[in-house]
Amino acid sequence: MRAGLHTVPGAAAATLMVGGSLVLMGWTFDIDPVKHVLPGLPTMKANTAVGFLLMGIALWCSRDPAAPLSRRAMACVSVTASIAAVTSLEHLTGWDAGIDQFLFQETVSEPGSGSPGRMAPLVALAFLITGALLAGPRGLIDGHRRMSAAAVVLVLAVSLSYLVPHAYGAKLGVSGLTITPVAIHAAVGFMVLALGLVVLRLPSGPVRLITGRRMAATLTRRMPLAAFAIPLVLGWLALNGQQAGVFSSQTGESLLVVATMLVMGGAVWPAGNSLDVAERERSRAEAGSRLLATIVENAEDAMISKDLAGRITSWNHGAEQMYGWPAAEAMGRHISLIFPQDLRPQLAQLIERIAGGERIDHLEDRSSPPRRTADRRVASALAHVR
């Protein structure tokens, strides 16, 4: 599953570039379905379309996560962030910088926008956040994974806060507060952009959790249905039941709460059962490992393990008796500790063969490996190396 994720940033970039270009064509040739999607819905502003086009280009140029951000990508992010920053200042101060209708003229201002052609404040904020995630130093993002993930969640929250009311046929609003409308395809565009950024910039966080093979990854892949899709459907059913007069608003809200509790409880139960099974299997495996470790530790033969760098990682009682080195002193030292000087080139070749994936079934050597005596001098002893 993880192998196919490398195509996600490219697909997201292509979607943003095509979407932004189509909306700009809609403004150029006055094609309302492209600007509105559906009659009565808010339009995607020209500056918003430019932002998606530029962010798509930047994301496309940044598909290789190991490569530094190119100048082209940085230029695209800088222009988008500048438009978003100036728009934010316009909303905060009432200043008109003249950028809202620089490309196209919009004669009618939508409610809450403050000026014709001006992108919504939350759209400007989302562009600033996504631009920072894309252009930010990788070391800074890796060092603040939680903050970066929270920024992505904020962008998704902005998108969902507009998409869900659209799905219910309602408008986002709070009593006494005017909220600038956002086009439905703009909200979808930010979800696509956030998905591409998560895969590209946070591969060791959410991506690893979702695509892993452990129980946590399995549960994470199952939870979106219960956490997102089912509440959305239940809310839609409750709203339509109220509008159709099947039940009152209070009854609808009560039924929604009860249904959500049952659904979430039904999702938690199998998750808990799966975790219980995994915990019992892990306990059995740990018991077997402890038994094997006890057998190895008390064996009379020397049993030693090392990593691919040649560092000793285990050293049993038999090794202590054969070579004279206590485990506390041998652990972490190089395996050449017990190889004669003239055989160390052969040891290096042996480690290289193992690192290359070759299996060494049996190796026997009857030379005299170094052995530490009680007074810490190194002597020699005849031994097998197996």
What pLDDT sits at residue 105? 84
Could you please state the CATH topology (level 3) that the domain comprising 304-380 is classified under: Beta-Lactamase (3.30.450)
Q: What does the pLDDT read at residue 144?
A: 65
The pLDDT assigned to 142 comes to 59
What pLDDT does 59 receive? 95
Q: pTM for the full model?
A: 0.68
pLDDT at residue number 143: 61
Q: Which residues does the chain have with pLDDT short of 70?
A: 1-4, 108-114, 138-144, 170-179, 203-212, 215-216, 224-225, 361-386
CB 316 within 8 A of CB 304: yes
Provide the pLDDT for residue 204. 65
Task: List pLDDT tens digits, range 262-321.
Answer: 877 777 777 777 777 777 888 888 888 888 888 888 887 888 888 888 889 988 888 888
Ranges of each domain in the chain:
2-212, 215-298, 304-380
- pLDDT at position 383 is 41
pLDDT of residue 254: 87
Query: If you write DSSP's letter for every residue of 299-349 in order, what string do you get?
Result: -SS--EEE-TT-BEEEE-HHHHHHH---HHHHTTSBGGGGS-GGGHHHHHH
Q: What is the DSSP string of 219-264?
A: HHHHHHIIIIIHHHHHHHHHHHHHHTTSS-HHHHHHHHHHHHHHHH
The pLDDT value recorded for residue 225 is: 66
Q: Are the C-beta atoms of residues 385 and 322 closer than 8 Å to each other? A: no
pLDDT at residue number 365: 56
For the stretch 86-97, pLDDT in tens is: 999 998 998 889
